[in-house]
Amino acid sequence: MSVLVVGSIALDSIKTPVHDHVDLLGGSASYAAVAASFFAPVRLVGIVGSDFPQEHLGYFQGRGVDLAGLQVAEGRTFRWSGEYHENFASRTTRSTDLGVFERFSPELPGTYRETPFVLLGNIGPGLQSQVLDQMGQREFVVADTMNLWIDIARDELLALLPRIDMLVLNDEEARQLTGEGNLVRAGRALMALGPAFVAVKKGEHGCLLFSKAGDYFTVGAYPLEEVHDPTGAGDSFVGALVGYLAAHAAGGVDFAALRRAVVHGTVVASFNVEAFSFDRLRAIDRAAIDRRYREFSAMSHYERIA
Amino acid sequence: MSVLVVGSIALDSIKTPVHDHVDLLGGSASYAAVAASFFAPVRLVGIVGSDFPQEHLGYFQGRGVDLAGLQVAEGRTFRWSGEYHENFASRTTRSTDLGVFERFSPELPGTYRETPFVLLGNIGPGLQSQVLDQMGQREFVVADTMNLWIDIARDELLALLPRIDMLVLNDEEARQLTGEGNLVRAGRALMALGPAFVAVKKGEHGCLLFSKAGDYFTVGAYPLEEVHDPTGAGDSFVGALVGYLAAHAAGGVDFAALRRAVVHGTVVASFNVEAFSFDRLRAIDRAAIDRRYREFSAMSHYERIA
């Protein structure tokens, strides 16, 4: 089954303690779409400027990403510049230049309107809702969000939550949105706002998954000795998660499928941070993902007792 | 098989955002000995003052803890006073009164010298070494440590490491001792200093386990909605870990046994933080631990792929 992905498409300038790169392919939709494409056909909704390199479009198409929903507008592509500090423990935004993204209004081609799996990547919740407004029946809708939207668009985010099946956010954002310091209580509070499932990302500490039915799942991160660029880790995580569901849970998403989807997300995100931009994702395939899944699975299992 | 536990025995005064308690039973050896006692017979080495309440000695004895190695000295018992802040994310020591602990010199009764499993609980590494000096053959030695000893007794700690089988410490301490920001590299650096196994505790984010042979294991923490007092979480974790090994890995400690031991430690620590001091540990038994192990095991497993 197909996945519709909406979000930002950007050119990122990234400084780390050891590197400095300018105008790399980035953006929440870019990472999510490529990550999902390892599992299922992807339909992309987004906007780029007239300066957007043709080679990136070719890369998306080569990964089987349908670009009928991509708007190419006169002007500059969205640019983000950020800096990572010691051990990648913190990040500062150096500059943001919205460019054509400032006037982005998602428009779904007719062929997209019945896409069964929907990933509302990290953009404003008003735009995320606008995508759902244009859709007919769908199977499973996942939304990602961030602290910025909790700060400046809380009401729109709260209006979106009853319309989605699953919310993905990080631990600080879960605390910020609910006012609950304890993550188990925060997860429950988030589900009370709408979604049947919530995934709380904890970066190098892994992920928690909750269901309204009371299921709970915890998994650590894949252990990496070298992290080169954490940009897009969350986006590739959620992209792979939804892509996996589209490929393997078409008959209905249950908690067992979500557990496997979360681990596939963990694995793809672990590849992503091993190199800048899409350098690592360009070099892997589904077989490499499956190999690391097996390896990781051997690391996180222990014997049950009778 | 038996476990020898050495460490501090204290009276703790603890302030949290909602409670304030004075002179509760505490100390690294107290928590570790009681946690280990759910699995195996325990031999305690430590010191208390003449003011130490008789009821606590009765509690230890009731849990099958051998007190032949406990010194009762004229003077005050070690007292620690600490305060936990919002969400238990940080802790400040308000005061420390060493009392008789200042002149503690561990002395092992003859019956203790061949104890197969040894837990060098969190006290100065010089005292930890002094225990090993008095011992004959042993099967498996685990040492716990903390930032204080890395700061003020680094050389003694480095001298201890080649003499132990496993080091347990938290993530910040692993970084501090090795100078490595990345925990996978820090784990490897620690094993290069001596121990065949290293466990890195990450509090609410669970635990990482490494072996020199290249094995790796990651497990999250048990999800708790209410934490009342994190004091002794690390000590009860390592106590249960060693107790489990003494009971179930007498034929030789391998990585599979260590995985189960780490999860048993996680489970006992999760009970411990649900109430002040030993209130929760007083109310549970091995069957309750096994029930939570099964429950937790269902939460952290996911399907392997072929």
Which residues 51-110 of chain B have a CB within 8 Å of chain A?
86-87, 89
| pLDDT at residue number B305 | 75
Average pLDDT, stretch A48-58? 98
CA distance A39 to A2: 9
Scan for tokens 């089954």, then name that residue.
A1
pLDDT digits (tens, 9 = 90+) for A154-190: 999 999 999 999 999 999 999 999 999 999 999 999 9
Tokens of B194: 């001596």
Q: Which tens digit of pLDDT belongs to each residue from B82-98?
A: 999 877 778 899 999 99
User: Which chain A positions have a beta carbon within 8 Å of B89's beta carbon?
Assistant: 181
CA dihedral sign of residues B120, B122, B123, B125: positive
* pLDDT above 90: residue A96: yes
Share of residues in chain B with pLDDT > 70 (%): 100
pLDDT for B123 equals: 96
Q: Is the Cβ of A209 closer than 8 Å to some Cβ of chain B?
A: no
Report chain B's mean pLDDT, rounded to a whole number: 95
Burial class (CB in 10 A: 0-12, 13-18, 19+), B278: buried
The predicted model gives B136-151 an average pLDDT of 96
* pLDDT at position A119 over 90: yes
A226 band by pLDDT with thresholds 50, 70 and 90: confident
| Alpha-carbon span B251 to B139, nearest angstrom | 9
Residues 6 or more apart whose Cβ sits within 8 Å of residue B192: none
Q: Is the Cβ of B221 closer than 8 Å to some Cβ of chain A? A: yes
B22's tokens: 């004075």
pLDDT of residue B306: 61
Note the pLDDT tens digit of each residue in A195-209: 999 999 999 899 999
Residues of B in contact with A18 (CB under 8 A): none
Report how many Cβ contacts below 8 Å link chain A to chain B: 105
B216 touches chain A (CB under 8 A): yes
Contact flag B205-A208 (C-beta cutoff 8 Å): no
Indicate yes or no: CB of B260 within 8 angstroms of CB of A303: yes
The DSSP code for B278 is T
DSSP string, B56-75: HHHHHHHTTEEEEEEEEESS
List pLDDT tens digits, range B12-38.
Answer: 999 988 889 999 999 999 999 999 999
Q: Are A268 and A36 in contact (CB under 8 A)?
A: no
Decide: A119 and A3 in contact? Cβ < 8 Å. yes
* Average pLDDT of the residues of chain A: 95
Residues of A in contact with B263 (CB under 8 A): 302
Q: Is the pLDDT of residue A212 over 90?
A: yes
Nearest to A120 by CA among A238, A233, A237, A266: A238
Question: Least CB-CB distance to B225: which of A89, A184, A217?
Answer: A184
Does residue A34 have a pLDDT over 90? yes
Among the listed residues A32, A71, A8, A16, the one whose alpha carbon sits nearest the alpha carbon of residue A235: A32
**Angle of CA points B204, B209, B210, to nearest 5°:** 150
Q: What is the pLDDT of residue A175?
A: 96
Asked if residues A304 and B259 have their Cβ atoms less than 8 Å apart, the reply is no
- Residue A89 pLDDT > 80: no
Structure tokens at B177: 């001792």
- Helical residues (DSSP H) of A161-254, grouped into ranges: 171-178, 183-192, 233-248
Q: Mutating which of B302, B303, B304, B305 best tests the A interface, going by the most A Cβ atoms within 10 A?
A: B302
Q: Residues A213, A135, A46, A246: what is their CA dihedral angle, to the nearest 10 degrees?
A: 50
pLDDT value for A306: 61
Residue A113 per-residue DSSP state: T
Per mean pLDDT, which range of A84-88, A194-198, B228-232, B295-299 is the poorest?
Answer: A84-88
pLDDT exceeds cutoff 80 at A301? yes
Instruction: Tell the burial category of B277 from Cβ atoms under 10 Å away from its Cβ (0-12, 13-18, 19+).
Output: buried
Beta strand A20-26 pairing with A197-201: unpaired
Q: What is the pLDDT of residue B89?
A: 73
The predicted pLDDT at position B90 comes to 82
